[in-house]
Structure formats: C-alpha cells, structure tokens
Structure 1
C-alpha cells in the first residue's frame, strides 16, 4: 500500500514539474512580439478618440496578429468579450440541438437562423478586432465584414421576433411585408456602417456615427416591434417567462447602443482607458448579454407559443424566410465587395500622391 502511495506521489510530482515548464516552452515557441505603439505612429483612421496608446504596429506577419490574442493592447478586451460570448452561444447552440429538431421541424428554422446569425456576427467581430491592424486594406475589409455580420444578425433577430413573438393583431397588419422590409433595412444598416467607415478619413466623427447609428436604429425599431407590443401589454399577472428575457434583451441592447454611440468613459479619462474601460468594450458585453437573452426568449416562445404561431404562419413561410436570409447575406456581401473596391481606389490614390 505504501509503495502504491509513493508511486502516485512521484507521478504527481513529475506532472507538476511538467506544468511548471509550460510557460517557458510557450515563450520559446512564440516569436518575438513587437511592442505596441502610440496613436501618432499609426494612420489616423486607425485611431480611436481618447485612446492614446496600445496600438499594434502594421505590416507584421499574420502569426503576430493571431498571437496578439494573448498580448496586452487596446483591442485585447474587445476580442475576448465577443470570443467568450461566441463560445457561450455555441454551447447554447449545442444544448438546444439536443432537444430541438432543427432538421425536420420547419417551425424551428427561425430559431436556427437566430443562432447562426449570432455566431456569425460574433465571429466577424472577433476577426475584425484581432486582425484589422495588419494593413490599411485589411482594416477596412475586416470591419466591413464586421458590419455585414451585424446586418445579418439584425435579420436573425427580425425573423425570430416575427415568427415567435408576434401577436395576432400586429401580424395581421404586417403579414407579407414585415420580413422583406426587415431585409432591406438590414442591407441599409450594413451599407450605412460601411460607408461611414469609408468616409472616416473625410467626415467628422459625429457625421460618421449618424450614418452608422440611424439605419441600425430604424432596423432595430422595426425588427423588435413584435416584442415591444408584447411588453407594452404585459400584465403583472402574466406567467409568460419569455417576457422577462425579452425585457432583458431590450434593456441590454439600449445600454449597448448608448456606449456604442458615445465615447464614454474614455472621454472623461483620455489616455487612461487604453487597455480596459473603453465604451466599446462595454458595448460588446451588453450586446452579448442582449443576444443570450434574445436566444433564451425565442426558445421559450418556440416552446410555449406553438399553437399561436403555427396558426399565424402558413406552410412554407419558414422555408421562405430561410431563402430570404440567404438573399440578405448575399446582398450584404455585395455591399462589402462594392465598398472594398472603393477603398482600393482610395488607397491607390493615396499611394500615388506620396
């Protein structure tokens, strides 16, 4: 018995010794990581207001930017907030896939679109914040893809709200036009954000923000109108647990919109929020919480309101909304391609003028 105990202690000691060697092994395996630079050392359209340092140098190899996931810079928290959110959404996706028949039940397809669009927008956001410092062209293209992710997520929100959350009276008013209008607004939102980014070099910051915020705000108001109606007529005696999560998603979204629109708190503490404390980081956290509440609310509606939505929506509606989702993604991709062409011309003119 004593011999067995000593053997196990010996194995544990060897394991601890190996664990202690991991940091050294990682240090030797990783390339030398260039330090971050000040705002005046990067192109002006890379700079964020009131963020003075922590920028990654341009034109490094791709490995550097991937490994900067573990480096301290002014995008680290932006990357990790949506990376962790992405992992949570994927875990929720796997959990729901065990009980929801996504392959055979057409009524589950709007929920599937919401899940896929949530994964896509977070993935695009992580890629943009992680890799956009590679070059001027990469900066624009990756953030255009980020805005494309936001546009298709708006569609995912719209279809889940219209399919599961809508009441019969509102459905009667907007049947046949709700999702086409939602698709158009998603494309306008994508274009407004991309064009605002493109004009970052020539327009005041507030003008760019208006171009980004107004189309998205209109899309949000339309996409969430079925939820607003249910919340307005929410009775205190109601036992509808989904409404708590709908209220949560609205509250978290409004909070995220506030921090996206205004550069707070870094405006109050310029140069002191370069690593942590930026409003965009808070925006990411609230948006991720909004998404998680939205998924939970839509799942509860999918389970609890089946009698209603199966009566409101015709056979084939779910398949039509899937096709419209594919069309919306394709349209947003064309917008990204168009704006990328304009950026290439802009950068070419700048290069010739030097």
Structure 2
C-alpha cells in the first residue's frame, strides 16, 4: 500500500525552500508492522510516524499528513473556537463575565463576581482537555515514555473537563426540583469523585493492559466515564424531561442541551466501536477512522454545550448568589483546584510506575 509522505506539497516548495536549512528532514510515514505494538491502532495499517525523532519533528508534523493529523487539528481548532467564543461573549455582555467587574464610577479597582467564576472554570476546563488531547496525539510517537506520559495528561484533561461541566451544569442549568433531590444534594462531591476515578482507571488501563487490548480494558475506561456522564448530565436531563418540545423555541438553551447530548452519545459510539475501519482495514487510515469521528463529534458537542451554558448563565446569573449563597459558590469553585491537584498527582504516580517498568524491561 502506498505510504503517505511527509514531503511538502509542490505548490509550497518555492515558499518553503529557504526554510529547508533550518527545518529537520521529516521521513515518510511507515506501516503498523514497523512500529511497536504500543503505537498501533486496530485496523489502521499506515500513516504512523517513526519513533525516536527529535521533538521538533513531531511538533512540525502538525502540518504534515499522517494518521493523527485530523485528531490533532479537530481538537486544536475546537480549543481555539472555545477560547475565542468565550472572549466574544465576554466583550458583548460587558464586564463581570470573567469573574471580575468594575465597581461603580466612584469606586476604584475591581470586585470579584462570584456568579461568573463557574463559567470561567468551565471554559478553562474545555480548553484544557482539548489542548491536552491535541498535544497527546501530536507528540506521543516520540517514545514509549512520552506516549504514556502524554496520554496520562490527556486523561487528566478529560477529568478536569468532566468536573468543569458538572460545576457549570449544577449552578447554571439545574432546576429547583433537581437541586432539592437526593442526587442534587450529593452532586458535586460525587461528580468530583467520579472525575478522579475516571482519570485513575484510564491511567491504570493504559499502564497495565497491552495491545491487543482485551475487552475489559475498554470497559475499565468506559464504565467510570459513563457513570460520571450520567451523573453530570442529570440536571439537564431533568429539565429536558419536564419541558415540552414546543417550549424549546422560547428557550434555546434546551435545544442546545439536547443537541450536545445527541452529539456526545454519537461520539461515545465511535469511541467504543472501531467503525468504519474494522470493515475495511487500511482504507480509513488518514481520514475517516473512528477516533477521528469521535474527536469531531466531541468538539461539536463541547461547542454546543458552551452555547447552552451562555444562555443558562444569563438566565441564572441575577439570582445565583441569593439561591446558592456566596460561601457555597466559593467552596464549589475551590473544589475545582482540588480535583486538578488530585488528578495531576495520580498521573505523576502512574508515570513513575511507567519509568520503573521501562527501566526493568531494558535490563
């Protein structure tokens, strides 16, 4: 089968030729049989990058064609879109959306607007998970240690996003009936625990299961993440279940929430099933394999969710402090930092195990 080259397109040669002396020579991509099993994906036969190249080669491969190109660009562009859209929303809606607001004309300095901090943390968590994912897929081919370390970072980003979603949905998108239920009472502590558990089990599965991966490796990843999603989406599910379809026209947030649920379920399907590449191995190596479809759908899901939260934020903001209390809001936002720290410590501990394991294998 024809290999996909790293060579620059002919139309760009005249422009890029002065840079050749400064840029490293990027070798062509290779087949699955030419890389270690760790770097292989089921039913993906070509488009792999060689290991052991300088780091700058993998950074420059952002602009080359290989089987990770679409994975990288889908989440990289989504991260940029999330950040830019948040900035536009902040400018259009005036001061205060970034967690600070100008005091009255006679006052000086800034005062904290606690009602907007969960929205800031949500946007930060979305950009974090998208950026970590893009970095992992771009740079993971450097070495075995880099592969493990970067995907551990990816799992930390996912856990951070899970809790960022939970925090925003709980405070902006929930109804009174849900908040007074048993689920609403334990929601944030349970969401934090499940986010950390998702990170831990994904890191554990990555470390302890080797290719070809057994089924229980996938279950080890999917079950904690699935339970976490069911909990995190419960405020939205309750609203969707108690409002008629006809009311969605006057409440665009409901339609956007429904859209993001559909997109997430589709992305989960492609994450768990190697479709369509299992039906034609090698045909979808560069464009169209399941993980790329998962990335694209998840990016669209995030953008739809962000728009829904913008609507919910404007709806809920005036009464947030009165409904939840300033101390409760501060503690909820502070718990975000605690989750980040716990997940980062877990990933670092797993990375140390990888280092010890690789050193043992090299003896």
Q: Same fold (TM over 0.5)?
A: yes
> In the alignment, is the contact (CA less than 8 A) between 2:273 and 2:290 conserved in 1?
yes
- Look up the match of 1:209: 218
**Which of 230, 250, 265 does residue 254 from structure 1 map onto?**
265
- Look up the match of 2:138: 130
> In the alignment, is the contact (CA less than 8 A) between 1:58 and 1:133 conserved in 2?
yes
> C-alpha displacement at 1:175, in angstroms?
4.6
In structure 2, distance between residues paired with 1:236 and 1:272: 41
- Look up the match of 1:108: 116
Rate the CA distance shift 1:270–1:30 in 2: closer, same or farther, 3 A: same
Rate the CA distance shift 1:35–1:78 in 2: closer, same or farther, 3 A: same
> C-alpha displacement at 1:254, in angstroms?
0.5
> C-alpha displacement at 1:158, in angstroms?
0.3
Q: How many corresponding residue pairs?
A: 334
In structure 2, distance between residues paired with 1:318 and 1:203: 46
Q: Which structure has the larger Rg over C-alpha atoms?
A: 1
Matched, 1:319 2:335: no
Alignment of 1:199-238 (within 5 A): 199-201=208-210, 204-238=213-247
RMSD: 1.7
In structure 1, distance between residues paired with 2:212 and 2:62: 31
- Look up the match of 1:3: none
Matched, 1:58 2:71: no
In structure 2, distance between residues paired with 1:337 and 1:90: 28
**Which of 153, 158, 180 does residue 166 from structure 2 map onto?**
158
> C-alpha displacement at 1:147, in angstroms?
0.5
Matched, 1:177 2:186: yes
- Look up the match of 2:3: none
**Which of 197, 201, 208 does residue 192 from structure 1 map onto?**
201
- Look up the match of 2:127: 119
In structure 2, distance between residues paired with 1:93 and 1:29: 37
In structure 1, distance between residues paired with 2:163 and 2:37: 33
Q: Which runs of no fewer than 5 residues in structure 1 stay unpaired?
A: 1-18
> C-alpha displacement at 1:237, in angstroms?
3.5
Rate the CA distance shift 1:20–1:208 in 2: closer, same or farther, 3 A: closer
> In the alignment, is the contact (CA less than 8 A) between 1:168 and 1:312 conserved in 2?
no
Q: Which runs of no fewer than 5 residues in structure 2 stay unpaired?
A: 1-11, 101-111
In structure 2, distance between residues paired with 1:38 and 1:72: 14
